[in-house]
Structure 1
Amino acid sequence: MTKIAYLASRVTLPGSAIRRTDAFEHDFTMDALRPAFAARGISIEDVSWDDPKADWAGYEAVIIGTTWDYWDRLEDFLAALERIEAVTRLFNPVSLVRWNARKTYLKDLEAKGAKLIPTLWIDRCGEAEARAAFDTLGAERLVFKRQVGAGAKGQHLLARGEAVPEMPHPMMVQPFLPMIKEEGELSFIFIDGEFCHALVKRAQPGDYRIQSSYGGREEAIQPSAEDLDAAKAVIGTLDAAPLYGRVDMLRGADGGLQLMELEVIEPYLYPKEGPELGERMAAAIARRLGR
């Protein structure tokens, strides 16, 4: 039986003493993938990306999955991916991961026509820089996000005049858009460049963060043709279709969608809201392996 690896992390693997509270999403993913892959004669094993005992050459392919600690060890992570890609096939490829790991990739997408929320890029965000951002963006509330990060870690929602917390990392700054609490964030999942499913993610009352670790909830949706076209246009900016990609968008004041993130490293792909995910992923891997 063909054997492939699903890259996880010590904070998502079952049985880990430091497992994240949202690591059940890893379990949901493996439950969706394993039977679909097995039906094609492929076994899939979850392995931590920094496991020193892993024999990467023993796998016919490696899929980057729940590597949800890479942002604090980015260079170690990229070096590990380089070693993996040197001996087997890696999805998505390390060149794409390196580009997508730092949110400045959004500048490239904007240059290709993607519609973004107005964004400031601040490499050293002290109190003076943070306070000046309110005037520059003309907003009373701003969201400060790490340029390398995920899951809202190190993220701050600040109103004009509030105390500025320490932000030791390069940051991106955007106006807070109330639509995140009204409609929610829309996610579009693509497998091998083809649309798979879509959902809306909403924060719990009193919060704006839509991640499950903060009480966020998800609901499958059937997107309008216009919304789907907007998401397809983002995926279409890539030189080649990735094995998987998730396009996160938020509706602007004009009713059109604005790009929040294009996730092609380790996004949760929401198998509960997309029951075809396992079969589509298995079929895509089988095609790429020539099976």
Structure 2
Amino acid sequence: MSAARPRLLYVTDLAYQARGRRYCDEDIHLAARLRERFDLALCHPRDAVALMDGFDAVVVRNSGPVLGYRSEYEAFRARALATGALVYNPLTGKADMAGKQYLLDLSAAGFPVIPTVGRAEDLHLLPAADAYVVKPRLGADSLGMRIVPAGQVAPLATGDVLIQPCVDFAYEVSFYFVDDDFQYALYAPDPERRWELEPYAATAADLEFARRFVDWNDLGSGIQRVDACRAPDGGLLLVELEDLNPYLSLEALPEEAAEAFVTAFTASLSRFVQGALSPA
């Protein structure tokens, strides 16, 4: 399909509830801005397969945790890969869009991540701790996450969960990228109120840390959020690399910074779609 203005199917769940945040507001704002450049329609993730063939590209934004519609998401991926449909972010991501296995792989490879194992026989590889975090491999937004005493963790390490030591971190910080370009950073000064974010002045060392994971993922085009925590030794450890539908927390930014992000996002998406639609 071709048109003077590319046609976008914008996948979002406007009814998704998140603690302390209204994801729908972000997508209403972004969709309004994208309409300046594209013909655009919004749909729920459960409807994407039925509608996607009528559009030049699909943009996956605040579509909620995949756990809520796992079969529909797998059908969407299968359909997109089979037809060569343009999906932004591209479905080649190796991080959250493919599950949590990457945390095990990066931990085993010595990357600066929170130490992570999945099996009882590997628990000895983790630092000793009074308590451990147990997460489903297919979890998101802390769904199914538990904190358990050290003496109770072994029976839970069944291979379908991730086990990490509880880290007494100072704060969490997120670095936001469009394509390979850093855009802004936000942090939560109070670990007990992770949803209350403030602008963060990233240092050169911080950006070197974050870029290491963006380079590893090699996504090419798209939005990525590198979530980290400031460990007791002062260094950063990866918590999550979100490459499917990262919430952007644009409301926490000064107006100028938010506008700069929207401009970068729109330009990236335009290059992505026009590059694929242009005749060879």
State TM-score, norm by structure 2: 0.81
More helix per residue: 2
Change (3 A) 1:23 1:200: closer
Task: Report the equivalent of 1:13.
Answer: 14
Deviation at 1:108, TM superposition (A): 3.6
Does structure 2 conserve the Cα–Cα contact (< 8 Å) formed by 1:61 and 1:89? yes
User: How many angstroms apart in 2 are the aligned matches of 1:169 and 1:73?
Assistant: 22
SS in 2 for 1:76: helix
SS of the equivalent of 2:29 reads helix
Asked if 2 retains the 8 angstrom alpha-carbon contact of 1:4 and 1:45, the reply is yes
* 1:235–1:166 Cα change, 3 Å: closer
Change (3 A) 1:117 1:192: same
- Contact 2:168–2:231 (CA under 8 A) maintained in structure 1: no
Are 2:105 and 1:105 aligned?
no
Write out aligned runs for 1:197-212 (5 A).
197-202=184-189, 207=192, 210=194
Aligned partner of 2:231 in structure 1 is: 252
- Check conservation: 2:115, 2:164, Cα contact below 8 A: yes
Q: Deviations over 1:125-157 (max 9, x none)?
A: xxxx59x95895411021111111111110011
Q: 1:14-93 residue pairs with structure 2 within 5 A?
A: 14=15, 19-22=16-19, 25-39=22-36, 41-51=37-47, 54-85=50-81, 86=83, 88-93=85-90
For residues 55 and 76 of structure 1, the distance between their equivalents in structure 2, rounded to whole angstroms, comes to 13
- Asked if the contact 1:140–1:160 (Cα under 8 Å) also holds between the matched residues in 2, the reply is yes
Aligned to 2:7: 3
**Superposed displacement of residue 270, structure 1:** 1.6
RMSD after superposition: 3.2
Bigger drift between 162-171 and 110-119 goes to 162-171
Structure 2: tracts of 5 or more residues without a match? 276-280
Normalising to structure 1: TM-score of the pair?
0.78
1:125 — aligned with what?
Answer: none
Other-structure match for 2:263: 279
Q: Secondary structure at the match of 1:228?
A: helix
Give 1:13's aligned amino acid: L
Match of 1:235 in 2: 214
Give the number of equivalent residue pairs: 265
Q: Which amino acid aligns with 2:180?
A: G
Aligned to 1:213: none
Among 250, 273, 278, which residue is 1:289 paired with? 273
Out of 139, 144, 163, which is 1:149 matched to? 139
Change beyond 3 A, Cα 1:36–1:253: same
Change (3 A) 1:157 1:65: same
Distance 2:155 2:269 in 1: 44
What does residue 190 of structure 1 align with? 177
User: For structure 1, which segment, 77-86 or 227-236, has the greater mean C-alpha deviation from structure 2 after superposition?
Assistant: 77-86
Q: 1:111 to 1:242 in 2, by over 3 A?
A: farther
SS at match of 1:151: coil
CA distance in 1, matches of 2:266, 2:112: 32
Question: 1:171-200, CA deviations, whole angstroms, 9 ceiling, x for partnerless residues?
Answer: 111111121xxx321100100111111100
AA matched with 1:79 = A
Residues 26 and 45 of structure 1: CA distance in aligned 2, closer, same or farther (over 3 Å): farther
User: Aligned pair in 2 of structure 1 residues 251, 264: CA closer, same or farther (>3 Å)?
Assistant: same
